[in-house]
A = this chain, B = another copy of it.
Amino acid sequence: MATRDPDRKRQQLMDAALAEFAEYGVAGARVDRIAGRAGISPGLVYSFFAGKEGLFDAVYEAIAEQTVDAVPIDADDLPGYAGRLHDAAAQNPQVMRFLAWYALERGERPVSEMVARSMDEKITAIEAAQRGGTVRSDRSAGEILALVLALANMWQHHTEDVGRLVPDAQRRTVITDAVRHLVTPQQPPRG
């Protein structure tokens, strides 16, 4: 175990930054606090990243990479897919909150290459399922995907008032049932 371990410090810094940014956003985050959480000195931040903003962007890149393909789509079982998206979100509230900040503070940026490709793959998968008859075809794949994502994340995006409407235990079912109603063809494929 080396007393000098840049890679470990770098990782600690990223973890601390995620926690801080998730809590306060970029503008509200404090470099000293991040360094404190990471157990390093404030100055060291600048030998790893291009300042606070650079750190924020680096955290986003890391998160996007991990998150985008964390829940692979199963277009033949969109209710299950939505449920799994919900589970992943519920297990990583920090990441969800970070992404909410990102949408507000960096929202003007063009969609990253990786995210765009991931979206295209999902669209393609849904179109295949539509041809296969497991997903209704009277709506475009883009609309289907937008609905699935909106419902899967419905408990994240709202203010506290909406959260109180349904107890935690039933939230997953609300999502999966709703998606089932929306994407299942009127004439089910077999009987």
Contact = CB atoms under 8 A, between A and B. Distances in A.
Mostly, the A contact residues are helix
A103 B166 CA distance: 18
Interface string A134-176: 0000011011011101110110011111101110001000100
A174 B161 contact: no
B143 A174 contact: yes
Interface residues of A, number: 48
A184 to B, nearest CB: 10
* Total copies of the chain: 2
A165 B142 contact: yes
Interface stretch (A34-42, A69-77, A104-112): A104-112
B104 A25 contact: yes
Pairs of residues from A and B, 7 with the lowest C-beta to C-beta distance, nearest first: A150-B154, A157-B157, A27-B28, A27-B27, A142-B165, A146-B165, A103-B159
